[in-house]
Amino acid sequence: MMQPLDTMFLALLIVIAVAALEAGDLLAAVILFGAFSFFSATFYALVGALDVAFTEAALGAVIATVFFVSAIRRSSKAARKRAR
């Protein structure tokens, strides 16, 4: 049986996922994706899957977010150079 805190985290994950899909700005979508990964890692820790939670926190919430933000920044810099 699910605990109320588990249900709250699942509802929060759905809200964040919909917000990330509806975001008009790429940077906002990446930030929401990072929040989704953080809360899913917290959910995994709540249900007792600590190894999965650690992997999700390290890869999803940190490394992937940093890579996506740096890719957005590099592509916008390249677009500005081409516009000159």
Give the pLDDT of the chain (84 residues) as one tens digit per residue.
568 888 898 999 999 999 999 998 899 999 999 999 999 999 999 999 999 999 999 998 899 999 999 998 888 776 766 666
Please report, in angstroms and rounded to a whole number, the separation of the first and last CA atoms in the chain: 60
> Which amino acid would we find at residue 46?
L
Give the pLDDT of residue 5. Answer: 86
Looking at residue 53, what is its pLDDT?
94
The pLDDT of residue 58 is: 92
CA 12 to chain centre: 12
> Could you give the residue ranges of the DSSP H alpha helices within the chain?
4-22, 26-46, 50-55, 64-83
CA 49, 6, 12 angle in degrees (round to 5)?
A: 110
* Residue ranges of domains in the chain: 4-83
pLDDT at 60: 86
pLDDT on residue 78: 66
